[in-house]
Amino acid sequence: MPQDRFSLSADESTLTIFNVQPEDQGQFKCEAENIPGDWDISYFLEVTSSPNILLGSSSRAKEQVRQGSDIRLRCIATGSPEPTYQWLKDDTPVASSVKPITTTHEVDKHTVEITTISSKYVLLDQGRELVVSKVTDQDAGVYTCVAINPVGRDRHTMNLTVLASPVFHDGLDHETPELVKHKPAFLWCNATGHPPPKYKWSGDIISDQSNERIRSVASGRGLYLPNVTQDLVSRYICNAINEAGEARRVFDPTLICKLILRAKRGEE
């Protein structure tokens, strides 16, 4: 026995263990000799410890997933007795409104328990892993894993961001706007997505960076043509881009001229 942590009393009847470690768990046997009716007694030392979540083996504090995909959030903890796991979303248990169903499956000659909490959530590996299925923007938020045993508990939070590719409000990917000659005009390219998309315009006219007759407005969502002329009537392409993808809208404008009728003096 290591002398720095184990100490026997003078008569060797008492063993003291300092700074108990998990590896100290096991059976200890005391034997009394040279006494009529020799005897021995055994003790089993159970070392308990509160849960400790291993951050290096668990999901990161910030996770991202594309909308429509599945994601697995993992939480690995040590502790004795072996901890159980509880999962929360925005401080509400994910299993608060339904009764979990646990089934057993054979995978590569190993028995695996899968706990189905709902059509949205599934628990794997005895609760260490939470699967969120077919993610939507409603699934974004703070997920918390709580590892619990009789000695204590530990928590690990994961902030889930759902990435959504850009989508145009009106669903149109092609427009043929009518522009009035010598009048101002706007071309709009409003899209939603997460993170908010950035906009890139292209076309024969705006490829020339020195063209001051076309202005980008509203953080790139629109183009402003202060004075429409024939040479500005050309194809314009807007790309809304973010980390999840991009959406494309094509503008093929037409030019119209306002007909102004003036009555001659003396005519009614």
Q: Are 77 and 50 in contact (CB under 8 A)?
A: no
**Residue ranges of the domains in the chain?**
49-104+112-164, 168-256
* Predicted local distance difference test score (pLDDT) of residue 39: 80
User: What pLDDT band is residue 98 in, cutting at 50, 70 and 90?
Assistant: very low
The answer to whether domain 49-104+112-164 has CATH 3.40.605.10 is no
The answer to whether domain 168-256 has CATH 1.10.10.60 is no
Phi, psi (rounded to 5 degrees) for 243: -65, -25
Phi, psi (rounded to 5 degrees) for 127: 90, -5
* Predicted local distance difference test score (pLDDT) of residue 209: 52
In three-state secondary structure terms, 181 is coil
pLDDT at 78 over 70: yes
Domains 49-104+112-164 and 168-256 share a fold: yes
Q: For 188-243, what is the HEC assignment?
A: ECCEEEECCCEEEEECCCCCCCCCCCCEEEHHHCEEEECCCCHHHCCCEEEEEEEC
* Predicted local distance difference test score (pLDDT) of residue 108: 57
Q: What is the pLDDT of residues 39-77, one digit of tens each?
A: 888 999 999 999 999 999 999 999 999 999 999 999 999
Q: What is the pLDDT of residues 198-253, one digit of tens each?
A: 999 998 887 655 567 888 899 999 999 999 999 899 999 999 999 999 999 999 99
Residue type, 222: G
Stated pTM of the model: 0.72
